[in-house]
Chains A and B, each alone.
Chain A
C-alpha cells in the first residue's frame, strides 16, 4: 500500500514538474516574441487611383503626419500604400495582402462604393478595423460591422458652396459673366464617375444654389470625365468647337476636371479674361495655383489634411483598443464628417 502511494506520488510529481516546466517556457517565449510587434502601428492604405490629385494630397499628408506622430509619441508607424488603379479586383487583392502583412488598421478609398461588403467581411473575419475615406460606401454595408468607419465630407455641401461661388460672381460681376446679356447663365457641367454619389450630389446642388435664388440657367452640355483632367480637356475642346462663345460657366465636380477645362481653353487660344468662368472642388495645390493665375475662379476646400489627421488619430486609437469617439467626432457610430470651405482669390493667403 505504502509502495503504491509512494509510486503514485512520485509519478504525479514528475509529471507535474514537467508540465510546469513546459508552461514556464511557453509563457516566457510568448512574452518575449510579442514585445517588438506592440511598438509598431502598421497601417494599410488602399487608394482607388493615386494619380487623382486630391487623393495624392491626402496620402502625402498622411505620410507627413505619421512622421510627426512618430517623433511626438516615440512610436513607429509603417504605412503601406497601394494604388488600385480603378480596379476593384486589384484592390481586393491588395486588402488580402494587408491582412497577410498583419496590418493593424486598414484605410480604403474604395474603387466601387457598392463593393464594400466583401472588404468589410474580410476585415471583420481578421478583426482588423476598417476606415473608408473620401468615397462613401452604401449605408447598409457600413452597418455590417461596428468597427467600420467613414471619413469624408458631405457631397451636397460641396455642390452648394460651388454654386454659391458662381451665384456671387453672377450677382456682383454680371457684365463679365453674362456675356450675351440675356440674363440666363449658360453653362456646361463636367461630371465625375457616372453613378458616384459625389457626382450626383455636387451636380444637383451646384445648380440648385443658383435656381433657388431665382437665377435662370441653361445647360448647354453635361458629360462625365471620370474625375480625370485629360478626359475633361477632351470634352471641353469639343464643346468649345460646338458652342464657342456661348459657354459662360464651367462647373466641374472636381479640380482635376476644372483644370482640364482650363487646359482646353488655353489650347484654344483663350486667355484668363476671355475664357468662361470655371469652378472646381477639392482645392488641390494645382487648383490654388490656377486661382492665383486667374484661370480658375474658385474651388471648394476638401480638407485633405483634416482627413489625413483624422485617419491617423483614429487608427492610433483603434490599434490601442481605445474608444474611437475619443479620437474623432463620430456620428451614428461610423461617420466622421469634415466641413467644406469656399476658396477664391481673396482666400489664398490663408491657404499658403
Chain B
C-alpha cells in the first residue's frame, strides 16, 4: 500500500516535470514558434519625416495589435537616401526582424541588394512595387498620374505646367509622373519637368515658377505635396497646385482652395494590409488576395463627402 502510494506520487511528480519541459520545448519547435511569438516587423520609409505616413502608421499599428506583431519605424536621416535604406534593411535582417515593410527609395536597387546579400526576409512594399514579385500596397500609379493630369485639364486656363520630379528612383512616383506627362502631351499642354528636393521646395518653388513661367504645379509624392501646401499662400500669383496624399496639411489646403485637387487613398488600409501580409509571410502562410487599392481625386468642394472624409480622417474620436 505504502509502496503503491510512493509510486503514484513519484509518477505524478515525473509527469509534472515532463509537462514543464514540454512547455519550454514546444514553442521552440519550427512552425509553432512563430505562431506564438510576437513578430518583429520593421518599417523603413524613404523620408526623414514619419508624420507624412501617420495615417498608414495608424493602420499598421492596429494590424500589429490584431495580429500579434511589434513594429519598428525607421525613418532615414535624408530623404531618398537609398544606400542608408539598404544598410538599415540589412541591419534589421541581422537583428532578427521577422519581416520588413519598405517604402523603397530605389526599388530596383533594393531588390538587387537583397539578392546580392542573400537576405531572405519577407519584404512588403508600399508606393512602389519591387522586382521579384513581392507584395506591394499602392493604388495603380499610372492611373493616378493620368487622373492628376485630368484634374488639371478640367481647370486649365492655358498655362504651362511644372511637373516636380522629387523621387526619380522611386519607380512608383516615376510612374505617376510619366503617366501624367504622357496625358498632358497628348492633350497638347506645354509642360516642363524639374528635379527638386522636397525638403528645399519651400525655398526653391518661387524661383522654379519664375524660371519656367508655369502657372500650374503637379507633385507626385507626399513630401513634395506637403511642401506645396506649406508654400502655397506665400506665392505671389496663385498657381494651380495638384498633388497626392491625405494628410491634415493637404486637407487644410484643399479646404482653402490653395491646392486645387489631390489624389487620395486610404493610407490606413495600405498600412493595415502591409502588416497583415508581412505577418502572414513571416509565419509561412499564404498571401491574402487583397484587391488593389483605389484612389479618388479630391477637391475642396467634395472634401467632406463621407467617402473622402474617411481617407483624410480614418480615425475619429
Residues of A with Cβ closer than 8 Å to B? 7, 10-11, 14-15, 18-19, 21-22, 25-26, 28-29, 32-33, 50-51, 56, 59-60, 63-64, 67, 76, 78-83, 85, 87, 89-90, 97, 101, 230, 263, 266-267, 286, 289, 292-293, 295
Pairs across A and B, CB under 8 Å, 25 listed:
A7-B3, A18-B17, A22-B16, A26-B20, A28-B24, A33-B24, A50-B51, A51-B248, A60-B48, A60-B49, A64-B48, A78-B70, A78-B71, A79-B72, A80-B61, A81-B50, A81-B73, A83-B54, A83-B58, A89-B317, A230-B252, A286-B230, A289-B202, A292-B203, A295-B234
Q: Are B72 and A32 in contact (CB under 8 A)?
A: no
Kindly report which residue of chain A lies nearest to residue B14, judged by CB atoms. A18
Interface of B is mostly: helix
Q: Are A25 and B10 in contact (CB under 8 A)?
A: no
Chain B 1-47 interface residues, beta-carbon cutoff 8 Å to A:
2-3, 6, 9-10, 13-14, 16-17, 20-21, 23-24
Is B75 at the interface (CB under 8 A from chain A)? yes
A101 to B72, CA, bound (A): 13
Q: How far is the CB of A109 from chain B (nearest CB, A)?
A: 14
A83 to B49, CA, bound (A): 15
Residues of B with Cβ closer than 8 Å to A? 2-3, 6, 9-10, 13-14, 16-17, 20-21, 23-24, 48-51, 54, 57-58, 61, 65, 70-75, 77, 88, 95, 202-203, 230, 233-234, 248-249, 252, 315, 317
Chain B residues whose C-beta falls within 8 Å of the C-beta of A56 in the assembled complex: 49, 51
A7 to B234, CA, bound (A): 96
Interface of A is mostly: helix
Chain A residues whose C-beta falls within 8 Å of the C-beta of B95 in the assembled complex: 76
Chain A residues whose C-beta falls within 8 Å of the C-beta of B65 in the assembled complex: 97
- Other A-B contacts than A15-B13, A29-B23, A267-B233, 17 sampled, CB-CB below 8 A, are A14-B6, A18-B13, A32-B24, A59-B51, A60-B48, A60-B50, A60-B51, A60-B75, A64-B75, A80-B61, A80-B71, A85-B315, A230-B252, A266-B233, A266-B234, A286-B230, A293-B234
Kindly report which residue of chain A lies nearest to residue B247, judged by CB atoms. A51
Kindly report which residue of chain B lies nearest to residue A76, judged by CB atoms. B95
Chain A residues whose C-beta falls within 8 Å of the C-beta of B249 in the assembled complex: 51
Q: Are A15 and B9 in contact (CB under 8 A)?
A: yes
Chain A residues whose C-beta falls within 8 Å of the C-beta of B14 in the assembled complex: 18
Q: Are B70 and A101 in contact (CB under 8 A)?
A: yes
Q: A14-B10, A101-B70 are in contact. Are A22 and B24 (CB under 8 A)?
A: no
Kindly report which residue of chain A lies nearest to residue B248, judged by CB atoms. A51
A11 to B58, CA, bound (A): 61
A267 to B3, CA, bound (A): 97
Chain B residues whose C-beta falls within 8 Å of the C-beta of A289 in the assembled complex: 202-203
Kindly report which residue of chain B lies nearest to residue A85, judged by CB atoms. B317
